[in-house]
């Protein structure tokens, strides 16, 4: 399948979408910190949320709206600077008011609007600023507003994260656009991660949920920065059917697998950008596991390695301490035979069928000095494989998170 990447585009690339952003001054004056992404026509919606039992008010409100409206909706309103988490009844009321105010400005119902917040946990939203910002954002709706929207959701991110693609599905050209934020508190189990996907594909709500779950499982659920699953993780998708394809209603329909492949492509791109932009990171880590007894075993082993503080610190220090990699795989819960493992850093083999090799330290250092460090484990026990992404653990990460509220 051919995928065409659209340069410098994001959530407003698909037909029938616009975005408006505002400088609400939630935490820092003079920067965009509130945005609304809106489908100009009725649409189906789906979402995946944090599995942390401590869930922010925007998560619970969005879940309720999706259920009440049976997967139909029009918009998502985002703010950065305050997570509205651990804020009790007031936080829930504030999140609901955000959706209602946005709905009134857009001309739809409150249940057609979802909400997401990111920032400091345990602080109340400055609602006077938030509500004024929603009005300003709604008034600034623009079909080319995706780039500003991607910046408005950032917190400690160093770069905005967005992508848009075109593909053929069911004989029609379908466009998928997306944006995400995430740099720290990244260990999703569905990171603080917020992501928004828009598409003009016509697809039934239940099938859209299924497609999103599959894409998320292979991408966002395989990235980690620091092992902390946020209270606010939210991944949304809106599909408005403006591409004119026959509505996808079942997994056997023509065009469905192409749509899932495209959805996975954009989610993978964003997940990798998050790993590259990890707080304080100097190196991007890719861990691939092949030959596992099952895909789930491969997933467990791969994510444990990129999530290991010891592995991350070794890579920051350019130390080919490969025993930490095998150790992390061993406690991951994956079922494999340690005496069958082949292990590589770059193209330098560290272990052959479970036996330590005398390897060229200088050659290994060449790979560890790169900005991208790639690790491969061949378990030689089956056909399962998976890839996970992460970053190194640096002194700067501690500095950033030691003063996050200031």
| Active-site residue set | 192
For β-strands 172-181 and 161-169, DSSP reports them as antiparallel
Three-class secondary structure assignment of the chain: CCCEECCCCCCCCCCCEEEEEECCCCCCCCCCCEEEEEEEEEEEEEEEECCCCCCCHHHHHHHHHHHHCCCEEEEEEEEEEECCCCCHHHHHHHHHHHHHHHHHHHCCCHHHEEEEEEEECCCCCCHHHHHHHHHHHHHCCECCCHHHHHHHCCCCCCCCEEEEEEEEECCEEEEEEEEEECCCCCCCCCCCCEEEEEECCCECHHHHHHHHHHHHHHCHHHECCCCCCCCCCEEEEEECCCCCCCCECCCCCCCHHHHHHHHHHHHHHHHHHHHHCCCCCCCEEEEEEEEECCHHHHHHHHHHHHHCHHHHHHHHCCCCCCHHHHHHHHHCCCCCCHHHCEEEECCEEEEECCEECCCCHHHHHHHHCCCEEEEEEECCCCCEEEEEEEECCCHHHHHHHCCCCC
CA-CA distance, 93 to 39, in Å (whole number)? Answer: 25
């Amino acid at each position: 399948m051919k995928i065409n990447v659209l340069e410098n585009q994001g959530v407003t690339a698909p037909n029938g979408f616009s975005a408006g952003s505002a400088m609400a001054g939630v935490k820092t004056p003079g920067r965009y910190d509130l945005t609304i992404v809106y489908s100009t026509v009725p649409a189906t919606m789906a979402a995946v949320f944090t599995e942390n039992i401590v869930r922010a008010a925007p998560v619970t409100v969005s879940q309720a709206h999706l259920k009440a409206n049976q997967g139909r909706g029009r918009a998502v309103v985002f703010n950065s600077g305050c997570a509205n988490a651990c804020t009790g009844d007031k936080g829930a009321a504030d999140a609901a008011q955000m959706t209602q105010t946005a709905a009134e400005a857009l001309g739809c119902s409150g249940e057609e609007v979802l909400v997401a917040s990111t920032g400091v946990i345990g602080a109340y939203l400055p609602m006077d600023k938030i509500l004024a910002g929603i009005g300003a954002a709604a008034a600034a709706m623009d079909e080319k507003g995706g780039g500003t929207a991607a910046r408005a959701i950032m917190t400690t991110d160093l770069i905005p994260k967005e992508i848009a693609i075109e593909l053929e599905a069911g004989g029609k050209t379908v466009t998928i656009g997306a944006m995400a934020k995430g740099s720290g508190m990244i260990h999703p189990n569905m990171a603080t991660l917020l992501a928004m996907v828009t598409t003009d594909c016509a697809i039934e709500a239940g099938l859209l949920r299924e497609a999103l779950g599959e894409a998320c499982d292979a991408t966002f659920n395989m990235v980690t920065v620091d092992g902390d699953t946020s209270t606010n993780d939210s991944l949304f998708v809106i599909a408005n059917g403006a591409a004119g394809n026959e509505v996808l209603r079942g997994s056997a329909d023509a065009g469905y697998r192409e749509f899932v492949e495209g959805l996975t492509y954009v989610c993978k791109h964003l997940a990798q950008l998050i790993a590259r932009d990890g707080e304080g990171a100097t190196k991007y880590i890719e861990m691939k596991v092949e030959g596992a007894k099952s895909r789930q075993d491969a997933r467990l082993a791969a994510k444990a390695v990129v999530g290991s503080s010891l592995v991350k610190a070794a890579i920051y220090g350019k130390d080919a301490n490969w025993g930490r990699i095998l150790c992390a795989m061993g406690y991951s819960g994956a079922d494999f035979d340690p005496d069958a493992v082949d292990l590589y850093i770059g193209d330098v083999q560290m272990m052959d069928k479970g036996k330590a090799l005398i390897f060229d330290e200088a050659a290994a250092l060449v790979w560890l000095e790169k900005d991208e460090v790639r690790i491969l484990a061949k378990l030689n026990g089956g056909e399962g494989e998976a890839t996970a992404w992460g970053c190194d653990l640096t002194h700067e990460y501690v500095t950033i998170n030691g003063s996050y509220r200031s």
